[in-house]
Amino acid sequence: MCGIIGIVSDKGNIKGRIIEGLKRLEYRGYDSAGVAIKTDSKIFVHKKKGKVYQMEEELKGANFPSRVGIGHTRWATHGEPSDPNSHPHSDCRGEITLAHNGIIENYQELKEELRGKGHRFRSQTDSEVIAHLLEEYTGEGANFLDALKRTVNRLEGSFALVILNSKEDALYFARKDSPLVLGLGEGENFAASDVPAFLPWTNRVIFLENGEMGKLTPSGVEIYKFSGEKIDKPPTTITWSLAQAEKSGYKHFMLKEIHEQAKAIGDTVNPRINRDRNSVVIEELPISPTEINHILIIACGTSYHAGLVGKFYLEEIAGIKTEVDYASEFRYRKPVLPPSTLTIAVSQSGETADTIGALRKARQGSKSLAICNVLGSSITREADATLYTHAGPEISVASTKAFTTQLSLLLLLALYLGRERGIITPEQEADLVSKLLALPSKIEQMLRSQEEKIRQIGIEISSYRNALYLGRHLNYPIALEGALKLKEISYIHAEGYPAGEMKHGPIALIDESLPTVFIATESKVLDKVRSNMEEIKSRRGRIVSLISGKQPAIEELSDGVIRVPQVDEYLYPIINIIPLQLVAYYAADFLGHDVDQPRNLAKSVTVE
């Protein structure tokens, strides 16, 4: 994972801006942080185990007249989090320094080879070999770009690199299978793992493709293929505002992003609705709706849970058999894909290594569609077509608004396919579309009326060591997602389970020390869910219920109740997850955890 940034500028404040950029990249990893800044003909390196703010404290008061520098925030893979293993890494003479995101798979053999030639290594990382390889090749008299070309062609695995050398006020870069974006400013240029890192200074960006490398100076950009061929890439203008990438007064990004969901859903849905007929407009499909015979959804984590809800939508509304698979499992199976399969890769970041691997495998036998939030990300470039969620930047490691916008888009896709295939009538489509358009205001209404109660419930849940989340039918994936949210940020063990399965095993766990969160909004299976509640109550289990409408019997059985506005049955998953996100948030915050940067996790999992 890791976040990298490089700045080359005539405008100064290199150190301050690298640290500011790193803070925006910390969602990618926060085991250690480091900077390297070129002053005159020397490279100053400061790197430390710990977070960016700790490094910032240590560098307070240090001023570096400089035009170029790089920074790194690490999610450890090779070598424990420690000062020597922190990036940037340098060659033997300290004349070449780089920050790396990715994994060099052949680093052991390269290290042996370089040791044999007298190179001295200071860390246990895979990344350090890159600095020594560059040293080796520049030592042979090659100019730096040639040395970089020879180096990248020796590396196996994934890498995004920003590199300094002590002889030039220039920044070198290269990319293969790890994200890297260039930012083009006035008298300054940037390279970073993600756009928010340099968004305060420019919104003109170039998304690099695999196999591209080059050089940035304050006034110019040169891009080459790894073969050495020079290429021209026009910049794209990003519409995300800086405010979207900042906390805007909220205590945490997660809380801000939970509150942004009404808008994010509106931004995702509105551009796809023909208002004259309330019909869905989707023009990007790589295969005609009537030809699709089978859908495969591949995704990880929260996006996988969105896929599970998508299966209900696509089967019930569009009448298409749909299979959902963990990308990490699918990529190593021998899948049997029926003819005319459409593969849908769902990913917030578009950079999840397992989803990319699964997509590559699925593309061997099917057309592919990405559902993604990040413009120009790897998954969008590899899929045959992309439908974008417009959630805006999601910074918190715990995914929230990406999930509800993914659900909204999957519902739109099902409505579109259902209409085109004659499974639903235009009237049925228009009815559900109008209800979806009204959903954002219902979400805002719920947040206004329920948040304080949800906060109290979150605090209560924080006193338990385990929790059970039960839901059925469309709300079974919501139970899984609610439990994932609780465990990833509060570190309370939580199980999501289909309510009807409880009697086949988990019921043995029930006693007063295990609270159960029931998703008990109106549905055709609500009576059955209520029976499950009775079973828990009679074993002295505590119950928190999410309900809609008047449910006196359920309220009677519950120790805590969260009220959700009444919506169409297909919309409950989208609104129901929001209070569960908040329960997790308030539990974690009460426990004093670092909500936006939970331990051991990173936002984009760009390694296997």
Beta strands 181-184 and 204-207, pairing class: antiparallel
What does the alpha-carbon distance between residue 69 and residue 426 come to, in Å, rounded to a whole number? 57
Does residue 353 interact with ligand M6R by CB under 6 A?
Answer: no
* Chain centroid offset of residue 76 CA: 18
CB closer to ligand M6R, 179 vs 218: 179
151, 134 contact by CB (below 8 A): yes
Those residues with Cβ within 8 angstroms of residue 183's Cβ, 6 or more apart along the chain or in another chain: 189, 190, 191, 192, 195, 198, 199, 201, 202, 203, 204, 205
Question: Please, what is the minimum distance in Å from the beta carbon of residue 469 to ligand M6R?
Answer: 15
CB closer to ligand M6R, 352 vs 558: 352
Question: Please, what is the minimum distance in Å from the beta carbon of residue 413 to ligand M6R?
Answer: 17
Question: Please, what is the minimum distance in Å from the beta carbon of residue 256 to ligand M6R?
Answer: 15
Strand ranges (E), 219-327 = 220-225, 230-231, 236-237, 273-274, 279-280, 294-299, 322-326
Question: Please, what is the minimum distance in Å from the beta carbon of residue 361 to ligand M6R?
Answer: 16
Question: Please, what is the minimum distance in Å from the beta carbon of residue 337 to ligand M6R?
Answer: 21
376, 236 contact by CB (below 8 A): yes
Catalytic residue among 176, 311, 361, 603: 603
Question: Please, what is the minimum distance in Å from the beta carbon of residue 562 to ligand M6R?
Answer: 20
List the structure tokens of 587: 């539990």
CB closer to ligand M6R, 178 vs 349: 349
Q: How far is CA 269 from CA 227, 272, 286, 578, in A?
A: 42, 6, 20, 18
Does residue 347 interact with ligand M6R by CB under 6 A?
Answer: yes
150, 142 contact by CB (below 8 A): yes
> Known catalytic residue: 2?
yes
Instruction: Choose the stretch contacting ligand M6R; rule: CB under 6 A; options: 31-39, 318-326, 345-353, 422-430.
Output: 345-353
Question: Please, what is the minimum distance in Å from the beta carbon of residue 279 to ligand M6R?
Answer: 28
Biggest CA–CA distance in the chain, Å, is 82
Phi-psi region of 13 (alpha: psi -120 to 50; beta: other; left: phi over 0): left
Catalytic residue among 2, 15, 367, 372: 2
CB closer to ligand M6R, 397 vs 499: 397
What does the alpha-carbon distance between residue 548 and residue 564 come to, in Å, rounded to a whole number? 5
Query: Which position among 300, 430, 502, 571 is part of the footprint of ligand M6R (CB under 6 A)?
Result: 300
Does residue 303 interact with ligand M6R by CB under 6 A?
Answer: yes
Number of residues that bind ligand M6R (CB under 6 A): 16
CB closer to ligand M6R, 287 vs 601: 601
Those residues with Cβ within 8 angstroms of residue 321's Cβ, 6 or more apart along the chain or in another chain: 293, 294, 295, 315
Beta strands 543-547 and 560-563, pairing class: parallel
Does residue 490 interact with ligand M6R by CB under 6 A?
Answer: no
The secondary structure of 554-605, three-state, reads HHHHCCEEEECCCCCHHHHHHHHHHHHHHHHHHHHHHCCCCCCCCCCCCCCC
Instruction: Choose the stretch contacting ligand M6R; rule: CB under 6 A; options: 68-76, 461-469, 528-536, 598-606.
Output: 598-606
Site string for ligand M6R, 383-402 (x = CB under 6 A): --------------xxx---
Query: Which position among 348, 450, 521, 551 is part of the footprint of ligand M6R (CB under 6 A)?
Result: 348
CB closer to ligand M6R, 405 vs 532: 405
Does residue 488 interact with ligand M6R by CB under 6 A?
Answer: yes
Burial class of residue 401 in the structure, from the number of CB atoms within 10 Å of its CB (0-12 exposed, 13-18 middle, 19+ buried): buried
What does the alpha-carbon distance between residue 244 and residue 568 come to, in Å, rounded to a whole number? 30
Question: Please, what is the minimum distance in Å from the beta carbon of residue 131 to ligand M6R?
Answer: 30
CB closer to ligand M6R, 348 vs 516: 348
Query: Which position among 86, 158, 217, 352 is part of the footprint of ligand M6R (CB under 6 A)?
Result: 352
Does residue 595 interact with ligand M6R by CB under 6 A?
Answer: no
CB closer to ligand M6R, 189 vs 389: 389
Instruction: Choose the stretch contacting ligand M6R; rule: CB under 6 A; options: 155-163, 164-172, 296-304, 578-586.
Output: 296-304
H/E element, 381: helix 378-382
* Chain centroid offset of residue 341 CA: 26
157, 147 contact by CB (below 8 A): no
Instruction: Choose the stretch contacting ligand M6R; rule: CB under 6 A; options: 144-152, 161-169, 587-595, 600-608.
Output: 600-608
Question: Please, what is the minimum distance in Å from the beta carbon of residue 312 to ligand M6R?
Answer: 19
Does residue 302 interact with ligand M6R by CB under 6 A?
Answer: yes
Does residue 576 interact with ligand M6R by CB under 6 A?
Answer: no
496, 469 contact by CB (below 8 A): yes
CB closer to ligand M6R, 373 vs 516: 373
521 phi and psi, to 5 degrees?
-80, 165
CB closer to ligand M6R, 430 vs 486: 486
Query: Which position among 85, 97, 349, 368 is part of the footprint of ligand M6R (CB under 6 A)?
Result: 349
CB closer to ligand M6R, 9 vs 604: 604
CB closer to ligand M6R, 468 vs 484: 484
The 3-state DSSP class for residue 333 equals coil
Query: Which position among 214, 301, 482, 579 is part of the footprint of ligand M6R (CB under 6 A)?
Result: 301
Question: Please, what is the minimum distance in Å from the beta carbon of residue 207 to ligand M6R?
Answer: 16
What does the alpha-carbon distance between residue 536 and residue 174 come to, in Å, rounded to a whole number? 57
Q: Which residue is nearest to ligand M6R (CB)?
A: 301
> Known catalytic residue: 603?
yes
Other residues' Cβ atoms within 10 Å of the Cβ of residue 283 = 7
Does residue 341 interact with ligand M6R by CB under 6 A?
Answer: no
Question: Please, what is the minimum distance in Å from the beta carbon of residue 588 to ligand M6R?
Answer: 12
333 phi and psi, to 5 degrees?
-95, 170
List the structure tokens of 454: 């949800």
Instruction: Choose the stretch contacting ligand M6R; rule: CB under 6 A; options: 277-285, 333-341, 343-351, 442-450.
Output: 343-351
Burial class of residue 79 in the structure, from the number of CB atoms within 10 Å of its CB (0-12 exposed, 13-18 middle, 19+ buried): middle
Does residue 605 interact with ligand M6R by CB under 6 A?
Answer: yes
Q: Write the DSSP string, 88-101.
A: PEE-TTSSEEEEEE
Does residue 368 interact with ligand M6R by CB under 6 A?
Answer: no
**Contact residues: ligand M6R, CB under 6 A:** 300-303, 347-349, 352, 355, 397-399, 488, 601, 604-605
Catalytic residues: 2, 603
